[in-house]
A and B are shown apart, each in its own frame.
Chain A
Amino acid sequence: MTSVVATNQTILVVGGGISGMTAALEAAETGKQVVLVERNPYLGGRTVQLYRYFPKMCHPTCGLEINLRRLKANPRIQVLTMAEVTGITGGKGNYSVSLKLKPRFVNENCTACGDCAQAVQTEIDDAYNYNLTKVKAAFLPSIFAYPQRYVIDPSIVGGAEGEAAKAACKYNAVDLTMKEETVTLNAGAIVWATGWKPYDAEKIVYYGYDRFPNVVTNVEFERMADPRGPTGGKILRPSDGKEAKNVAFIQCAGSRDENHLRHCSRFCCMGSLKQTHYVQEAFGDEGKSTIYYIDIRAIDRFEDFYQKVKANPNVSFVKSKVARITQDKDGNPVCNGVNTEGYLRYATAHDLVVLAVGMEPEVKGVSIPAEVMSDSSGFVMADPANAGIFGAGCATNALDVNRAVQSATAAALRAIQVVNKVARAEG
C-alpha cells in the first residue's frame, strides 16, 4: 500500500509538469510539506517532450535536471506518479482528497537496468512520442524519466510476457500483483496544475490532419526534431521518409477561432518561429520555411527573436489563414489560400505542413472536482469562493513556459498563505 504523510498544513500539487514541479519545489524550499501528484509515470509534463525552448534554443531537460536535483535533495516533497485526483471534500485549510493510483507493476527495487525490456517483445504506442513510434511494453518512459523506474504496461500483465519481465528482473522489482489503489489524504491547500493538451487537429477538417500523412502538429514536430525522438532528430516526412526541406507552418490552427478555441494560445507563434530554426539547422540554406499567420505574436522581448527569424532569407511569412490543404500526386501537402496583404492567391506545395495547434486545458471534457472552478474555455479561475484551491500554469491560461513558472510560483505563495494561516490558528 502506498502511504502518504499529509496534514491540513500539507500542500497538494496536482500535476507534475513544469508548473506543478515549480509550485511544489518553491513551497517545499520554503519549508512546507508537499504532496505532488502526477498522472503519468514520470514528471516533467509536456515541456520534456519539447526539443528546445524559445527564445534561447536551450533544452527543456536542462531545467528539468535542476528541478529534479532540487526534488531529490528535498525530503519535504512526496511524489505520487500514475495518480489522479478523484474527489475533493472539505474546505480551505482542511481538504480531504481521494486519489486513484494505477499500478506500475514495478517497485522501488528497480535499478533501471533495462533487463525487463530485453525480455519483452510486445510493443505498445509510445505516448511520450505522441504515438509516432512504438515502445516495449516494459519501458522507461524517457531517458530523463523520474522516478527512474521502468513501467510494465497492463496489457502484458497476466500473460507470458509479463512473467518474462518478472523473470528477467534480478531484484524482484517486477510485481505483477500490484492493484489499483485508492488513497485519501489531507491537505490545507491545493495547487491545480494540470496543464494543457494540444487541440485535436482532426477537428480542423479542412487541414486534413487525419487524411494526409505529411500534415503533422507542432508538438509532433518537436519530437521529429529531437535526436531522442522517433526519427532520431532527422526531419523526415511520415509518408515516405523523405527529408522535409520545405516546411509550412500554419498558425492559429484551432486558436483564435470561435469554431474551435476562442482564445489565442500565445505560445504558438514563438513555437513556429523556433521550429524554423530546426529546419535551418537540419538543412542549412536548402531548408525553407513558410509561416502562414494572422498576426505574429512575438510579445515583449521575444520580438528580437522574431526579427532574427524575419531576417533569415530562408523563412517567408504570408499573412493568411490557410483555407485548405490538398495533396498533390507526389504526396506533397498543398496549402491553398489568399495572402491578404494585397490579395495574392496561392496554392503552394510543401514537403511537410506543421499545424501550430493551440492549447486547451488538459482537463477540458474530463470531470474535475466541482470545487475547481473553470471558465467557459475550461481554464481554472482564481475564484475567491475556492480560497484554498489555486490554479497554476497552463491550467489557468494559455502560457509559455516562463509565464507558467511565474504563475506556479505565485500559486505556491497563495497555497502557503493558507497553510500558514492554519499553522497560526493551530499555534
Chain B
Amino acid sequence: MSNLNEQMADRYKNNFLKEIEEQAEMGEWVKMCMQCGLCSGSCPTHFHSGWDHPPQEIFMLIRAGKREEVLNSQGMYMCTSCYNCYVRCPRKVPVTHVMHGIAEYAYRIGRAPKAQPTLHLSKTFWTNATKYGRVNEVQLTQSLYFKDGIGSGIKKAMEMQKEALGLVMAGRLNPMEALGMGHKCKDVSGIHKMLAKAEELEAKNKAAKADTAGKE
C-alpha cells in the first residue's frame, strides 16, 4: 500500500485533482464545486473536533494540489451519510459519495489514520455483516463497546443496559446473537462467493485505472 502511495505522489506531483478523479470513486465531481459552502454549512457533525476540513474546503484543497493536507485530513471520515449536502448541493455534486470515495482512496493507499473511529466502525460493520450475510447486532455492539478496553466497554454497556433490555423485550434484539446464533442469510457461502467476485472485479478496475494513469 505505501508503495502505491509513493508511486501516486510521484505520478501526480502537480495534479492531485487528476489523481483523485481517477482513483477516488466520484472524484470527477470535485472540479464542479463552486465554493458556496452549502455542504459545509449543512453538515450535522460539524461540531466534532475531528472536522478539520469540510467538503467544500477539501475540494478546494484538492484543486490547489494540497495532497498531504487532504490525505492527512480527518474530514472525509466524519461523514455520517445524512445526505444533507448531497440533496442541497446547487451543483448536484454527490458530496456524500465523493467524501466516501476520498476516504476509501486514502485508506487504500495506507493514509488513513490509525484508530479513526468512523473507520473502525466501518471495518467492524463490514466484517460483521459479511460473515453471515446479515448484521449480528450484539456482536457488533460488543466489538464497538470494547474497542477501547474492557473497563470502558463495561461502563458503556451498563449505561445502555435499559435500552438493551427494552429492545430485547420488544423482540428487536436477540441475546443469542452473542453466541454467534440469531439471524443469518440463507446461503452464506453464496454471499461469500459473490463478495469475493465483486472484490476481484473492483481490484481489476482499479488496477486498470492506475495502469492508464501511469502511461502518460
- Docked CA distance A344–B89 (Å): 19
Q: Number of contact residues on B: which range applies? A: 20 to 34
Which partner residue on chain B sits nearest A339 by CB separation?
Answer: B37
The answer to whether A321 and B37 touch across the interface, beta carbons within 8 angstroms, is yes
User: How far does the Cβ of A205 sit from chain B's closest Cβ, in whole Å?
Assistant: 9
Given A206-B42, A323-B38, A324-B41, check contact A343 B88 (CB 8 Å).
no
The answer to whether B40 and A252 touch across the interface, beta carbons within 8 angstroms, is no
Say yes or no for B54: interface residue by CB 8 A criterion. Answer: yes
The answer to whether B91 and A294 touch across the interface, beta carbons within 8 angstroms, is no
The answer to whether B90 and A338 touch across the interface, beta carbons within 8 angstroms, is no
Q: Which residues of B, 34-68, contact A by the 8 Å Cβ criterion?
A: 34-42, 46, 53-54, 56-57
Contacts of A319 in B (CB 8 A): 35, 37
Contacts of B91 in A (CB 8 A): 258
The answer to whether A338 and B88 touch across the interface, beta carbons within 8 angstroms, is no
Given A258-B90, A258-B92, A343-B53, check contact A321 B36 (CB 8 Å).
yes
Which partner residue on chain B sits nearest A320 by CB separation?
Answer: B37
The answer to whether A206 and B88 touch across the interface, beta carbons within 8 angstroms, is yes
- Docked CA distance A257–B37 (Å): 13
The answer to whether B40 and A343 touch across the interface, beta carbons within 8 angstroms, is yes
- Docked CA distance A217–B88 (Å): 19
- Docked CA distance A319–B38 (Å): 11
Contacts of B84 in A (CB 8 A): 323
The answer to whether B92 and A294 touch across the interface, beta carbons within 8 angstroms, is no
Query: Which of B42, B54, B57 interacts with A324 by CB under 8 Å?
Result: B42
The answer to whether B37 and A337 touch across the interface, beta carbons within 8 angstroms, is yes
The answer to whether B90 and A320 touch across the interface, beta carbons within 8 angstroms, is no
Contacts of A257 in B (CB 8 A): 90
Contacts of B87 in A (CB 8 A): 259
The answer to whether B92 and A338 touch across the interface, beta carbons within 8 angstroms, is no
The answer to whether A320 and B36 touch across the interface, beta carbons within 8 angstroms, is yes
- Docked CA distance A337–B46 (Å): 10
* 5 A-B pairs with least C-beta separation: A323-B41, A337-B41, A257-B90, A321-B36, A340-B37
Query: Can you pick out 6 interface pairs between chain A and chain B where the beta carbons lie within 8 Å of each other?
Result: A252-B90, A319-B37, A320-B37, A323-B39, A337-B41, A345-B41
- 7 new A-B pairs (CB below 8 Å) besides A323-B84, A324-B42? A206-B88, A320-B37, A321-B41, A321-B90, A323-B40, A337-B37, A340-B56
Using a CB–CB cutoff of 8 Å, the interface residues on chain A facing chain B are: 206, 252, 256-260, 294, 319-324, 336-340, 343, 345
